[in-house]
Amino acid sequence: MKSLFHWLVLLAMIVLLSCDNTAANASEITAPGQATSGYGSTANYICNGFTEGRVGPWYDPWSGTWCWYFIPDKLKNGTKAPVVIYLHGMMLMAPDIYMDHIEHLCRQGYIVLFPQINKGGIVGLATDNNQYKMMHRTIDSVNNALSKIGSKADRGNMVVFGHSLSGLIGLCWADNEGDAIAPAVKRIVLADPCLYANIPAFVDVFVNVTELDFNAKARSTTVPVIILTGSDDSIALPETAYEAYDALVNAPSKVIYRYNTDTHGAKALKADHMAPIDDDGWMPSWAMDMLGGDGEVDTFDYRVFWAALDAALDGQNTLTFNMGRWSDGVPVKAVTRLAPK
């Protein structure tokens, strides 16, 4: 009996130690970082610095007419470089919120334009409710920035990247707006496109949004489009991506990819609405969570958003996503191609 008791005690100790090690190991499992090869990686970096400038009235930062431009120290093609028109999400109008992605593009020699989509401040939020005017201002500010940059910008090689509200602007880009003629682009990448205002009823009483008719305007899009949607996006539901896809009746190529939440490691990879942003800016994390998710640089940035835009800039209409592995060797959940099947 004494021998049996000793064996039971030993077995219990082994089980407890095993549980402790499992818990410790789980707490140490980390997601993959930026790759050294392929799209979204460091492979094509040719410089580290860039020059930042801005067009728009210096005295009115909330006008919705500013456009920042970022010119790399070394241009992709020697004397000029392809241009990314980087369109931010609603009220995410500070370039710092997307700066890691902007720096990634500049390090590859690309010029980046970052126009304000909406007016800022409380007054701007309450009164800037006409999406046609938003689009008009955005096009005007981009054209002003291109004029400022001059011959360094390769106007025959430009790509639009639009997040959230600007997924809607990007979807409608080719249709222009009034007398504002949008510069032609070769491809469009939409990240979690938000096609509707989604304003709560009690707010809608005070803020009556005039929405872009994306079904009409997207007909003018005649370039390839890549659409990215998150499995747990509560703001722009994945079903919205299909609406954008269906509206692109004249696009020669269109594809929807869904990136998927993965909770395997100590810190989950959340496929939410704010997955494309790199920083919360001045907003506290709890407030960002209410708006659709927290902002940080993680695997989804490197291997989904950065990779997709890199591929578009490289002339690709589709791509295979290398999601990498968690530090314990388990593959990160694969990106799902939703359409076409």
| Model pLDDT for residues 122-153, shown as the tens digit of each residue | 777 778 889 999 999 999 999 999 999 999 99
| 3-class state of residue 75 by DSSP | strand
- 329: exposed, middle or buried (Cβ count in 10 Å: 0-12, 13-18, 19+): exposed
Q: What's the whole-model pTM score?
A: 0.89
Does 23 have pLDDT greater than 70? Answer: no
Q: Tokens 């407890």 belong to which residue?
A: 16
Locus of tokens 């011959």: 151
> What residue ranges define each of the domains in the chain, with the CATH number in brackets?
40-339 (3.40.50.1820)
Residue 20: its pLDDT value, please? 42
What pLDDT score was predicted for residue 274?
A: 92
User: Which residues are paired to 156 by β-bridges?
Assistant: none
Residue type (1 letter), 266: A
Answer whether residue 279 shows pLDDT above 90.
no
Distances (CA, A) of 19 to 24, 27, 265: 8, 12, 16
Q: Which residues contact 216 (CB under 8 A, 6 or more apart)?
A: 175
Q: In this predicted structure, what is the pLDDT of residue 76?
A: 98
pLDDT at 92 over 90: no
Are 221 and 250 in contact by the 8 Å Cβ rule? The answer is: yes
Looking at residue 5, its pLDDT comes to: 41
Determine the pLDDT at residue 147: 97
What's the pLDDT score for residue 120? 79
**By CB neighbour count within 10 A (0-12 exposed, 13-18 middle, 19+ buried), where does 263 fall?**
exposed
The average pLDDT across 31-53 equals 98
At 1 the three-state DSSP class reads: coil
Q: Give the model's confidence band at 156: pLDDT under 50 very low, under 70 low, under 90 confident, else very high.
A: very high
If one compares 244 and 21, the residue with the highest pLDDT of the two is 244
Rounded to an integer, the average pLDDT of 274-296 is 65
Segment of 14-18, 227-231, 289-293 carrying the highest mean pLDDT: 227-231
CA dist 316 and 311 (Å) reads 5
Where residue 190 falls among pLDDT bands split at 50, 70, 90?
very high
Give me the percent of the chain exceeding a pLDDT of 70: 85
Higher confidence at residue 10 or residue 309?
309
- Asked if the model's pLDDT at residue 67 lies above 80, the reply is yes
DSSP secondary-structure letter at 225? E
pLDDT score for 26: 58
pLDDT at site 291: 53
